[in-house]
Amino acid sequence: YIFGFGSLITHPGFDYSERVQPCYIRGWRRVFHQGSTDHRGVPEAPGRTVTLERCEGAVTWGAAFRLAGDAEQRRRTWEYLEWREKQYDLRLKVPVYTAATGARQPRLVALTFVATADRAANPNFLGPAPLEEVARQIATARGPSGPNSEYLFRLADAMRGMGVQDEELFVL
Protein backbone atom coordinates (compact mmCIF):
# COMPACT_ATOMS: atom_id res chain seq x y z
CA TYR A 1 0.00 0.00 0.00
CA ILE A 2 0.93 3.64 -0.58
CA PHE A 3 -0.50 6.33 1.75
CA GLY A 4 -1.23 9.61 -0.01
CA PHE A 5 -1.84 12.85 1.85
CA GLY A 6 -1.50 15.35 -1.04
CA SER A 7 -1.82 15.05 -4.80
CA LEU A 8 -1.83 11.25 -4.69
CA ILE A 9 -5.36 11.56 -3.26
CA THR A 10 -6.67 13.62 -6.17
CA HIS A 11 -4.47 12.25 -8.96
CA PRO A 12 -2.86 8.89 -8.16
CA GLY A 13 -1.59 8.39 -11.72
CA PHE A 14 -1.16 4.63 -11.34
CA ASP A 15 -3.30 1.50 -11.32
CA TYR A 16 -4.43 0.25 -7.94
CA SER A 17 -6.56 -2.70 -6.90
CA GLU A 18 -7.96 -1.11 -3.74
CA ARG A 19 -8.43 2.44 -2.49
CA VAL A 20 -9.01 2.90 1.23
CA GLN A 21 -10.45 6.30 2.16
CA PRO A 22 -10.91 8.12 4.28
CA CYS A 23 -8.05 6.80 6.32
CA TYR A 24 -5.47 8.44 8.52
CA ILE A 25 -2.08 8.20 10.14
CA ARG A 26 -1.33 9.32 13.68
CA GLY A 27 1.49 11.46 15.04
CA TRP A 28 1.92 13.48 11.83
CA ARG A 29 0.39 16.70 10.51
CA ARG A 30 0.13 17.94 6.92
CA VAL A 31 2.16 21.13 6.29
CA PHE A 32 2.94 23.21 3.19
CA HIS A 33 6.70 23.15 3.79
CA GLN A 34 7.94 21.48 0.59
CA GLY A 35 9.01 23.55 -2.39
CA SER A 36 7.88 22.30 -5.78
CA THR A 37 10.15 23.27 -8.66
CA ASP A 38 9.05 20.48 -11.00
CA HIS A 39 5.24 20.27 -10.73
CA ARG A 40 3.56 23.29 -9.12
CA GLY A 41 6.34 25.82 -9.45
CA VAL A 42 9.68 26.45 -11.12
CA PRO A 43 13.17 27.01 -9.66
CA GLU A 44 12.78 30.81 -9.84
CA ALA A 45 9.33 30.71 -8.18
CA PRO A 46 8.76 27.46 -6.30
CA GLY A 47 5.29 26.36 -5.39
CA ARG A 48 4.41 24.89 -2.01
CA THR A 49 3.23 21.33 -1.60
CA VAL A 50 2.46 19.32 1.49
CA THR A 51 4.71 17.10 3.49
CA LEU A 52 4.39 15.56 6.92
CA GLU A 53 5.73 16.94 10.18
CA ARG A 54 5.84 14.93 13.39
CA CYS A 55 3.24 16.23 15.83
CA GLU A 56 2.11 14.31 18.89
CA GLY A 57 -1.64 13.82 18.95
CA ALA A 58 -2.12 14.92 15.33
CA VAL A 59 -3.78 12.90 12.59
CA THR A 60 -3.40 13.31 8.85
CA TRP A 61 -6.24 12.10 6.67
CA GLY A 62 -5.69 10.73 3.20
CA ALA A 63 -6.08 7.67 1.01
CA ALA A 64 -4.23 4.37 0.83
CA PHE A 65 -3.75 2.50 -2.43
CA ARG A 66 -2.89 -1.15 -2.97
CA LEU A 67 -0.70 -1.38 -6.05
CA ALA A 68 -2.32 -3.40 -8.82
CA GLY A 69 -0.93 -6.09 -11.05
CA ASP A 70 1.80 -8.65 -11.05
CA ALA A 71 5.32 -8.10 -9.72
CA GLU A 72 6.47 -6.43 -12.96
CA GLN A 73 3.55 -3.98 -13.03
CA ARG A 74 4.10 -3.12 -9.34
CA ARG A 75 7.80 -2.56 -10.07
CA ARG A 76 6.91 -0.13 -12.89
CA THR A 77 4.42 1.63 -10.60
CA TRP A 78 7.09 1.97 -7.95
CA GLU A 79 9.50 3.46 -10.52
CA TYR A 80 6.79 5.96 -11.51
CA LEU A 81 6.22 6.91 -7.86
CA GLU A 82 9.96 7.31 -7.26
CA TRP A 83 10.12 9.68 -10.25
CA ARG A 84 6.97 11.57 -9.29
CA GLU A 85 7.88 11.94 -5.62
CA LYS A 86 11.59 12.55 -6.24
CA GLN A 87 11.65 15.74 -4.16
CA TYR A 88 10.51 13.73 -1.12
CA ASP A 89 13.66 12.29 0.41
CA LEU A 90 12.27 9.89 3.04
CA ARG A 91 10.14 6.79 2.60
CA LEU A 92 8.34 5.63 5.75
CA LYS A 93 6.17 2.67 6.64
CA VAL A 94 3.18 3.95 8.60
CA PRO A 95 0.22 2.27 10.28
CA VAL A 96 -3.00 3.42 8.62
CA TYR A 97 -6.31 3.64 10.47
CA THR A 98 -9.94 4.01 9.41
CA ALA A 99 -13.08 5.00 11.29
CA ALA A 100 -14.16 1.36 11.10
CA THR A 101 -10.98 0.01 12.73
CA GLY A 102 -10.59 2.91 15.15
CA ALA A 103 -7.39 4.23 16.64
CA ARG A 104 -6.57 1.02 18.48
CA GLN A 105 -5.94 -1.23 15.52
CA PRO A 106 -4.43 -0.19 12.18
CA ARG A 107 -6.29 -1.36 9.08
CA LEU A 108 -3.04 -1.72 7.13
CA VAL A 109 0.57 -0.61 6.88
CA ALA A 110 1.55 1.62 3.97
CA LEU A 111 4.57 3.37 2.57
CA THR A 112 4.47 7.15 2.38
CA PHE A 113 6.80 9.83 0.99
CA VAL A 114 8.03 12.59 3.32
CA ALA A 115 10.06 15.69 2.49
CA THR A 116 12.44 16.37 5.36
CA ALA A 117 14.18 19.55 6.48
CA ASP A 118 17.58 18.02 5.61
CA ARG A 119 18.75 20.53 2.99
CA ALA A 120 21.57 18.24 1.83
CA ALA A 121 19.07 15.51 0.92
CA ASN A 122 16.20 17.86 0.10
CA PRO A 123 17.34 21.23 -1.30
CA ASN A 124 13.73 22.25 -2.11
CA PHE A 125 12.53 22.22 1.50
CA LEU A 126 11.05 25.66 2.25
CA GLY A 127 9.97 25.16 5.84
CA PRO A 128 7.41 27.13 7.78
CA ALA A 129 6.44 30.69 6.88
CA PRO A 130 3.73 33.14 7.91
CA LEU A 131 0.29 32.18 6.58
CA GLU A 132 0.14 35.24 4.31
CA GLU A 133 3.46 34.34 2.69
CA VAL A 134 2.43 30.72 2.13
CA ALA A 135 -0.89 31.89 0.64
CA ARG A 136 0.91 34.38 -1.65
CA GLN A 137 3.32 31.71 -2.90
CA ILE A 138 0.49 29.28 -3.58
CA ALA A 139 -1.58 31.97 -5.32
CA THR A 140 1.22 33.02 -7.68
CA ALA A 141 3.27 29.87 -8.35
CA ARG A 142 2.73 27.86 -11.51
CA GLY A 143 4.63 24.88 -12.86
CA PRO A 144 4.42 22.16 -15.52
CA SER A 145 1.52 20.47 -13.66
CA GLY A 146 -0.44 23.72 -13.43
CA PRO A 147 -1.13 26.46 -10.89
CA ASN A 148 -0.16 25.82 -7.29
CA SER A 149 -3.60 27.13 -6.26
CA GLU A 150 -5.22 24.25 -8.19
CA TYR A 151 -3.22 21.79 -6.05
CA LEU A 152 -4.49 23.47 -2.87
CA PHE A 153 -8.12 23.65 -4.00
CA ARG A 154 -8.21 20.03 -5.21
CA LEU A 155 -6.75 18.82 -1.93
CA ALA A 156 -9.22 20.89 0.11
CA ASP A 157 -12.12 19.63 -2.03
CA ALA A 158 -10.95 16.03 -1.54
CA MET A 159 -10.86 16.47 2.24
CA ARG A 160 -14.34 18.00 2.23
CA GLY A 161 -15.55 15.15 0.01
CA MET A 162 -14.31 12.65 2.60
CA GLY A 163 -16.04 14.58 5.36
CA VAL A 164 -12.70 15.53 6.91
CA GLN A 165 -12.27 18.81 8.77
CA ASP A 166 -8.74 20.11 8.17
CA GLU A 167 -8.80 23.72 9.35
CA GLU A 168 -5.09 24.32 8.63
CA LEU A 169 -5.73 23.34 5.02
CA PHE A 170 -9.07 25.12 4.71
CA VAL A 171 -7.81 28.44 6.09
CA LEU A 172 -5.39 28.70 3.14
Residue 126 lies in a domain: yes
pLDDT band per the 50, 70, 90 thresholds, residue 143:
very high
* pLDDT value, residue 100: 82
Number of domains forming the structure of the chain: 1
CATH number at residue 112: 3.10.490.10
Residue 41 lies in a domain: yes
Its pTM stands at 0.94
Show contacts of 126-130: CB within 8 Å, 24+ apart.
Answer: 126/33, 126/34, 126/35, 126/46, 126/48, 127/33, 128/31, 128/33
Residue 72 lies in a domain: yes
Question: Which residues are known to be catalytic?
Answer: 85
Residue 170 lies in a domain: no
Q: How far apart are CA 9 and CA 5, in angstroms?
A: 6
Q: How far apart are CA 156 and CA 6, in angstroms?
A: 10
Structural domain for 43, as ranges:
2-165
* pLDDT value, residue 101: 79
Q: Do residues 62 and 4 touch, judged by C-beta distance below 8 A? A: yes
Residue 172 lies in a domain: no
Question: What are 40-97's pLDDT values in tens digits?
Answer: 999 999 999 999 999 999 999 999 999 999 999 999 999 999 999 998 999 999 999 9
* pLDDT value, residue 26: 96
Whether the predicted pLDDT of 102 surpasses 80: no
Question: What are 4-50's pLDDT values in tens digits?
Answer: 999 999 999 999 999 999 999 999 999 999 999 999 999 999 999 99
* pLDDT value, residue 119: 93
Cis peptide before 22 (omega within 30 of 0): yes
